[in-house]
Structures are given as C-alpha cells and as structure tokens.
Amino acid sequence: MNTVTTKQAIIEVDQGGVSSPKGYQAGGLHCGIRKEKLDLGWLISETPADAFAVYTTNLFQAAPLKVTQESLAAEQKLQALIVNSGIANACTGDRGLQDAEHMRAKMAEKFGLAKHHVAVASTGVIGEFLPMEKVTDGIAAIDSANDSFETAILTTDTKEKKIAVQVEIDGQIVSIGGSAKGSGMINPNMATMLSFITTDAVVQPKALDQQLKQLTKQTFNMITVDGDTSTNDMVLVMANGQAQNQTLDPNHPQWSLFTEALGVVFQFLAKEIARDGEGATKLIEVQVEGTETEADGQKITKAIIGSNLVKTAIHGEDANWGRIITAIGYSGVAINPDQVTVKMGHTTVVEKGLPVAFDETEVKTYLAGDQITIYVKAGTSNMKAFGWGCDLSYEYVRINALYRT
C-alpha cells in the first residue's frame, strides 16, 4: 500500500478499484465479442446508490449513453453497471438503442433490480452491431465477484487503471474507488474514455453532482492524447452510503477532506489515461500559472498538450521551446508575451518572453525520461491550471492505421 500526502491528511492508497468501498462487487468475463480477451465487465451495489454522470460532447452519442441517461433521469439512483468492450454500439440507429436497452433489461433481470437502476456502457469499434446472443449469454453467466472488471473494459489500453483511497470521516472509514479505460481518441472534454467512481460515503446528492462536474472539468477534461473526442465517453459516480457517516455537504466540517480524496481519485485516473496513450512513451504534464482566470490557464494548457509539434518534439527529446511559445500564442488567451516564462523540468528556457541560454545536453537527458513537466508562468496572479497528455510516436500511427484489422 502506498500513501498520498495531502494538505489535510494521509490518504491511504491501494490497488483496489470500484469494488473497494463497502457494498460493491465487480468482475469481468469473456463472452465472445472479442476473440480471446475479456470483454464484459459488471458492477453491483448491495443497495441503490445516488448516482450522477457526465458524457461526451460529441453529437454522435452512442446508444449506451442514451440508455444510461434515461436510467438516471428516472430516480438519480443506480445499483448496477454492465460494460462491454470491443464494440462501441455507436452509430447503430434503432437496433443499437434496442440492444443497449436489452443489456439493461437482462442485467436487471439477472440481479432482480429495477431497469432504471442499471447503467450501460460500451467501448470499441464504431458502427458495428453487438452480437447480442453472446452478450445475453455473458450476462447470464455472471457469477461470483473477481478482479477482472478493469481488464474487461479495456480496448487498446496496455494496462488496467484503478485506485482506491480511504479517509476517516465522523470516526468512520470512508472509501472511494475508481476504475477507468482510455488510450486513444482522447481529447479535453473527454473521449474514448470510461471512468467509474464508487464510494460508500453518505453524500448530499446535489453536492455530489457538483463535485463530479467540477472535478471532471479539472481532470478528465484536461487530458489529451490525439485531439479526437469519441462517441462513448462517460464519467459515472455512485455513492451507496454504507460507511454510515453524517451526510457530507459543503457545511460538513470534513467536506474538504472528502473532496480532496475524491480529487486524488479523479486526477490519478486522468493521468493514467494520458500516460497510457496509444503508442505513448512519455507522460507530459503542463502547469500554467499567473493567468487572470482558471479558464485562461486551462486554455493555454490545452493548447500546449494538444500541439502535435510539441508532442513530437517531446518524443524526439528535442528542447524545441519555440513550439511551446507558439501554442501559448494561439491559445486565445490575452497574455503579455514579455511576462511569459517557460521551464522544461527545472531548466528555464524562456524568461520574460526571451530565450535563455541552457545546457542542451542536460535538457535532452531530462526529456529522455518517461514523465516530462512543462511549466509556464504567463502573468502575476496566483491562479494555476494543470493538464496532462503524452508524446506522439510512430507506434501511434501503426496502432491506428490497423485498428479495425
């Protein structure tokens, strides 16, 4: 078990995921959508949980998202989730919608739940129909919990993405778990990305919804791999209240501790998605400070991590700071170029808008690492924004040139 030092407490971190909090079980299996890999994941809460979600901004929204939105609109509670990988069930018309509804109905029937207490998610190739007989048989075959949920939801990902944290609130141990998938078609405002967060905390529903939206804006909406926003993205949070703490809301004395722990989960998963970008060899973190507003800082951050020229320079271990300056300049933020300072790691390469002599060999050695930080000071305020991306490699082209074959 690792520990994360926060401003207020030591938050215990382990390699658990969505099944770590009290009252949740999860698992994964192979139902035959994919040739050999696991392709069906499931999550169950012992009791209905308050639930909220945010979705892709792509206008071609996949059928599973529409079904999940319908479920949440009924009561804003969920008790189960069924996820398939391999086929996205997007751009599949009425049949795709019926298939997503069928998945929800079969999952509800399997566990004796109300249909509107089941969420559905899919990820994979767009424009193909699900083999519903295989999916139906897979749902019927769900048995005891196992550790395969995170594996079953992956597509081109190279590794599982999961985390669990614990904090003490009102003398009770409160747990938060998170599991995600995402490797390609990743862009700020979410993209082929699914992220599921569970907690056993008792949380005021409105406050939980607000935190979901705020943290998504600060984390999942601040990552990019390739600039493409997918059809299936969703971040879903569930709170089943089994920790039996006093209801958490902004008036609770330990509200900030809970939101900080929740933020640890969101940020960890977002960074892991960026780190695991298709063909990626390096995680790029951009930190921008000094802008008038957080939104301005985020615009600059997105411009830098989204620049293919910056991404390829980092891949080539080339300290080409001109590409960073260019991205700042076209970000749309009104900055004073004479105030801009840029660092790669601890090395200043631009100060007050002018180049600074630096040791090329030293910076190249830094850029050879697998985690690169670019710092930008764009003004005099204390405002800060963060974003994450990855380098752009030859392997990315190979993966995506052969995605359907």
CA atoms within 13 A on the CB side of 318: 13
Q: What is the pLDDT of residue 276?
A: 80
Q: Does domain 2-275 have CATH number 3.40.50.300?
A: no
**Using 50, 70 and 90 to split pLDDT, how confident is the model at 143?**
very high
Tell me, what's the pLDDT at 185? Answer: 45
pLDDT for the residue 403: 61
Task: Please tell me which residue in 68, 123, 192, 224 is annotated as part of the active site.
Answer: 192
Task: Render pLDDT for 71-92 as a digit per residue (tens, 0 to 9).
Answer: 999 999 999 999 999 999 999 9
Q: Which residues pair with 377 in a beta bridge?
A: 289, 341
Other CB atoms within 10 Å distance of the CB of residue 251? 9
Average pLDDT over residues 144-166: 93
Residue that the structure tokens 């320079």 belong to = 313
Q: Is 192 a catalytic residue?
A: yes
Radius of gyration, alpha carbons of the chain = 22
**Mean pLDDT over residues 223-234, rounded?**
72
Distance, in Å, from the CA atom of 24 to the CA atom of 238, rounded to the nearest integer, reads 10
Question: Strand 283-289 vs strand 371-377: parallel, antiparallel, or unpaired?
Answer: parallel
Please tell me whether residue 81 adopts helix, strand or coil conformation.
strand
Q: In the chain, pLDDT over 90 holds for what percent of residues?
A: 77
- pLDDT tens digits, one per residue of 264-290: 999 999 999 888 876 778 899 999 999
Which residues neighbour 47 within 8 Å (Cβ) at sequence distance 6 or greater?
Answer: 23, 79, 240, 241, 242
- Give residue 15's pLDDT: 73
- What's the confidence (pLDDT) of residue 188? 46
| pLDDT for res 247 | 98
Q: Where are the domains of the chain?
A: 2-275, 283-401
- Mean of pLDDT over the chain: 91
Q: Write the CATH number of the domain with boundaries 283-401.
A: 3.10.20.340
Query: Over 60: is that where the pLDDT of 307 sits?
Result: yes
Q: Taking residues 65-76, what's their average pLDDT?
A: 97
123-127, 174-178, 362-366: the lowest-pLDDT one: 123-127
Phi, psi for 63 (deg, rounded to 5): -55, -45
